[in-house]
């Protein structure tokens, strides 16, 4: 028997149709990851599965119970469906332990001692037992999210829904939350996760849904979606390029600031130290090579740097546009020590390209 069955679900906000006749069946033990650009309706779809948004049309079944039926006992059905939000939403008027035990005591009628014991076991599982008497507002985002997960688990749900569980976290805290999700996966929890963490999606999912054009645009195993997406929009999304942009219009530009920004750009996409250094070195050499060729020190500088990074094949390309006289540094005489930079570039880059359109020099190197 399926855990969740969604049939012909449609949802509009005003004149904007977000979802159109979406079907989905989630079997026990499946881990479904929903990916897609912002505003593609993936969160709305997730919220419809717990009827936090009322669908305009269509039906949602949780197990045997039709959630969308007017006669449905929503409160009872929801006990079996855990929901974890991007913004945690712990009850701020209670400490951690009360956050977790509230529902089991009030809804399942568990004796307090038993509920607390269970809560402590769960807290220990996520490594937060020492925080049990703390108030939520003194905890870090990662800790809050782990407690929000435990709060759901205390109700022993059959299925858990995660709405971008790591999107509101500092990069340093994403790991601890993902580790918790992995733990649940290991225990066989049925999960539907909306996330932007692609590497994690690939690792944990049994099935990936790519949302676009008001519904499930393409679905498949992580391998199918990430390695060989069949449809165009999926491909564009998966191979989505990341860009870094910098403008230089002064000979005495702030090199330190540029280098710092390149470093944080590289860090954001998980480039290793060696690659980051190369990226910085090559950018610097390219800039100075072109600056020196302007000849007259008082000539205006108009230069743009663009670094793009393909998250899938992890290839970085530095592009530079420099206004001025035609000059191709890659053809410079490298025997000459003045052009040491060019030698460095030639030795590091996989590909070097040069083009001149009469006004601008265009250089591109691939690392």
Interface residues with other proteins (CB under 8 A)?
50, 52, 75-76, 78-79, 81-83, 85, 87, 89-93, 95, 102-103, 106-107, 133, 148, 151-152, 155
Task: Read off φ and ψ for residue 209, nearest 5 degrees.
Answer: -115, 125
Name residue, tokens 């999304």. 237
139 or 262: CB nearest other proteins: 139
CA distances from 244 to 23, 264, 304 (A): 39, 10, 11
CA dist., res. 298 & res. 250, Å (int) = 10
Calculate helix-pair angle for 273-292, 255-268, nearest 10 degrees: 150
Q: Cβ of 227: how many Cβ atoms within 10 Å?
A: 12
In the three-class reduction of DSSP (H, G, I as helix; E, B as strand; rest coil), residue 285 is classed as: helix
Q: 327 and 362 in contact (C-beta within 8 Å)?
A: no
Q: What is the largest CA-CA distance in the chain?
A: 84
100 or 248: CB nearest other proteins: 100
Environment class of 83 (CB within 10 Å of its CB; exposed 0-12, middle 13-18, buried 19+): buried
CA dist., res. 302 & res. 17, Å (int) = 45
For residue 67, give both structure tokens.
């959630």
- Compute the radius of gyration of the chain from its Cα atoms: 27
Q: 163 and 85 in contact (C-beta within 8 Å)?
A: yes
125 or 155: CB nearest other proteins: 155
> Closest distance between other proteins and the C-beta of residue 99, in Å?
10
In the three-class reduction of DSSP (H, G, I as helix; E, B as strand; rest coil), residue 169 is classed as: coil
Name residue, tokens 């709060």. 151
CA dist., res. 189 & res. 356, Å (int) = 58
């Amino acid at each position: 028997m399926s855990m969740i069955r969604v049939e012909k679900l449609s949802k509009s906000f005003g004149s904007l149709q977000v979802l159109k006749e979406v079907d989905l069946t989630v079997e026990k033990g499946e881990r479904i990851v929903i990916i897609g650009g912002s505003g593609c309706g993936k969160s709305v779809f997730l919220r419809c599965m717990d009827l936090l948004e009322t669908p305009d049309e269509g039906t949602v079944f949780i197990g045997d119970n039709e959630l969308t039926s007017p006669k449905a006992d929503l409160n009872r059905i929801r006990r079996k469906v855990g929901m974890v939000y991007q913004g945690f939403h712990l009850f701020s008027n209670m400490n951690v332990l009360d956050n977790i035990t509230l529902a089991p005591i009030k809804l399942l009628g568990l004796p307090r001692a038993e509920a607390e014991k269970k809560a402590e076991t769960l807290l220990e599982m996520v490594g937060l037992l020492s925080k049990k008497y703390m108030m939520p507002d003194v905890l870090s985002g990662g800790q809050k999210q782990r407690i929000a997960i435990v709060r759901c688990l205390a109700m022993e749900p059959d299925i858990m829904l995660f709405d971008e569980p790591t999107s509101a976290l500092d990069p340093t805290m994403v790991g601890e939350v993902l580790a918790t999700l992995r733990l649940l996966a290991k225990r066989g929890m049925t999960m539907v996760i909306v996330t932007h963490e692609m590497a994690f999606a690939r690792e944990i999912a049994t099935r990936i849904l790519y949302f676009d054009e008001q519904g499930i645009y393409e679905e498949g195993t992580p391998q199918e979606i990430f390695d060989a997406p069949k449809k165009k929009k999926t491909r564009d999304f998966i191979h989505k390029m990341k860009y870094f942009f910098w403008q230089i219009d002064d000979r005495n530009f702030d090199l330190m600031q540029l280098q710092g920004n390149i470093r944080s750009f590289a860090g954001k996409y998980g480039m290793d130290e060696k690659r980051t250094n190369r990226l910085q070195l090559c950018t610097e050499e390219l800039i100075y090579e072109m600056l020196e060729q302007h000849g007259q020190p008082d000539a205006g500088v108009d230069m743009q740097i663009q670094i793009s990074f393909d998250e899938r094949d992890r290839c970085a390309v530095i592009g530079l546009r420099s206004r001025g006289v035609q000059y191709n540094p890659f053809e410079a005489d490298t025997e000459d020590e003045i052009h040491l930079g060019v030698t460095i570039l030639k030795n590091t880059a996989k590909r070097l390209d040069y083009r001149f359109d009469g006004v601008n020099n265009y250089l591109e190197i691939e690392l």
